[in-house]
Structure 1
Amino acid sequence: MASHFAAFLEVESSSPVTSPATVLRHDERLTTASSTNHEWIELQSSGSIVQRPGSFASPPPDLENLHPETGSALGEADVPLSRPDSTEIVPSLYYPAKNKWRAVSASCILLAQGLSDSAPGALIPYMEQNFHVGYAIVSLIFVTNAVGYILAAPLTYWLENRLGRSRTAMISQLSVLTGYLIIVCKAPFPAVVFSFFLIGLGSAIILALNNVFLANLTNSTELLGINHGFYGVGGTIAPLIATALASKGVHWTFFYIINLTFAAFNLIYSGWAFQGYEKDMPLQALNGQNQDAEQRAKKNLIGRALKTKATLLCALFVFAYQGAEVSISGWIVSFLIHYRNGDPAHVGYVSSGFWAGITVGRFVLSYPARRLGERLAVFSLVVGSVLFQILSWFVPNIVGEAVTVAVIGLLLGPIYPCATVVLNRLLPRDIQTTSLSFVSAMGSSGGAVAPFVTGILAQSVGTVVLHPVCLGLYGLMILAWFLLPQRSRRED
Structure 2
Amino acid sequence: MATFLLLIIYLAFISLGLPDSLLGAAWPVMQVDLEAPLETAGLLFMTIAAGTIISSLFSGKVLKRFGTGKVTFVSTLMTAGALLGFYFAPSVIWLFLCAIPLGLGAGAIDAGLNDYVATHYKAHHMSWLHSFWGVGATLGPFIMAYYISRQNSWSSGYLTIAVIQFVLAIILLLSLPLWNRGNKNSAIDSNEKSEVENVSYKDENVNDKPLKIRGVKLALASFLFYCGVEATIGLWGSSYLVNVKDLPAATAAQWVSFYFGGITIGRFITGFITFKVNNVVLIRSGQFIALIGAALLFLPLPLYFSLAGFILVGLGLAPIFPCMLHETPARFGKKHSQTIMGYQMAVAYTGSTFVPPLLGVMASNTTMGIFPICVVILVGVMFLSTEKLNRALKGKNISPTTM
TM bucket, shorter chain? 0.7 to 0.9
Q: Aligned equivalents of 2:82 and 2:217: distance in 1?
A: 30
Q: Secondary structure at the match of 1:135?
A: coil
User: Partner of 2:310 in structure 1?
Assistant: 405
Q: Aligned equivalents of 1:151 and 1:308: distance in 2?
A: 25
1:142 Cα deviation from its structure 2 partner: 1.1
Q: Aligned equivalents of 2:155 and 2:147: distance in 1?
A: 10
User: Partner of 2:353 in structure 1?
Assistant: 448
Max Rg structure: 1
> Which structure 2 residues correspond to residues 102-117 of structure 1 after superposition, within 5 A?
102-117=5-20
Return the match for 1:236 from 135, 138, 141: 138
> Which structure 2 residues correspond to residues 295-306 of structure 1 after superposition, within 5 A?
none
1:489 Cα deviation from its structure 2 partner: 7.1
- Conserved 8 A contact 2:289-2:315: no
In the superposition, relative to structure 1, how do residues 405 and 160 fare at CA in structure 2: closer, same or farther (>3 Å)? same
Q: Aligned equivalents of 1:192 and 1:427: distance in 2?
A: 41
- Conserved 8 A contact 1:160-1:168: yes
User: Partner of 1:186 in structure 2?
Assistant: 89
Q: Secondary structure at the match of 2:284?
A: helix
Q: Secondary structure at the match of 1:147?
A: helix
User: Partner of 1:147 in structure 2?
Assistant: 50
Q: Secondary structure at the match of 1:396?
A: coil
- Conserved 8 A contact 1:145-1:444: no
Instruction: Report whether the alignment pairs 1:206 with 2:109.
Output: yes
Q: Which has the higher contact order (CA 8 A, sep 6+)?
A: 2
User: Partner of 1:259 in structure 2?
Assistant: 161
TM-score in terms of structure 1 length: 0.70
**Equivalent residues, number:** 373
Instruction: Report whether the alignment pairs 1:196 with 2:87.
Output: no
Greater helix content:
2
In the superposition, relative to structure 1, how do residues 446 and 268 fare at CA in structure 2: closer, same or farther (>3 Å)? same
Residues 222-257 of structure 1 show CA distances to partners (whole Å, capped at 9, x for unaligned) of 111111111212222221221120233353122122
User: Match for 1:353: what amino acid?
Assistant: F
Q: Which of 156-165 and 251-260 deviates more?
A: 251-260
1:368 Cα deviation from its structure 2 partner: 2.2
Return 5+ residue gaps in structure 2 as ranges: 189-207
CA RMSD of aligned residues (A): 2.6
User: Partner of 2:268 in structure 1?
Assistant: 363
Return 5+ residue gaps in structure 1 as ranges: 1-96, 284-302
- Conserved 8 A contact 1:166-1:277: no
Sequence identity percentage: 21
Residues 265-291 of structure 1 show CA distances to partners (whole Å, capped at 9, x for unaligned) of 3434335142234322299xxxxxxxx
Q: Aligned equivalents of 1:254 and 1:383: distance in 2?
A: 39
User: Match for 2:95: what amino acid?
Assistant: V
> Which structure 2 residues correspond to residues 382-397 of structure 1 after superposition, within 5 A?
382-397=287-302
User: Partner of 1:417 in structure 2?
Assistant: 322
User: Partner of 1:466 in structure 2?
Assistant: 371
> Which structure 2 residues correspond to residues 245-394 of structure 1 after superposition, within 5 A?
245-271=147-173, 272=176, 273-281=178-186, 312-369=217-274, 371-394=276-299
Q: Aligned equivalents of 1:254 and 1:144: distance in 2?
A: 22
1:452 Cα deviation from its structure 2 partner: 0.6
Residues 170-229 of structure 1 show CA distances to partners (whole Å, capped at 9, x for unaligned) of 3322332332232122242122123223222211111111112222334x2211111111
1:157 Cα deviation from its structure 2 partner: 0.7
User: Match for 2:285: what amino acid?
Assistant: S
1:132 Cα deviation from its structure 2 partner: 0.8
Q: Secondary structure at the match of 1:365?
A: helix
TM-score in terms of structure 2 length: 0.84
In the superposition, relative to structure 1, how do residues 240 and 168 fare at CA in structure 2: closer, same or farther (>3 Å)? closer
Instruction: Report whether the alignment pairs 1:222 with 2:124.
Output: yes
Residues 86-138 of structure 1 show CA distances to partners (whole Å, capped at 9, x for unaligned) of xxxxxxxxxxx2x2222222211221222211122210111101221122122
Q: Aligned equivalents of 1:348 and 1:149: distance in 2?
A: 24
User: Match for 2:107: what amino acid?
Assistant: A
Instruction: Report whether the alignment pairs 1:173 with 2:79.
Output: no
In the superposition, relative to structure 1, how do residues 435 and 149 fare at CA in structure 2: closer, same or farther (>3 Å)? farther
Q: Aligned equivalents of 1:369 and 1:382: distance in 2?
A: 16
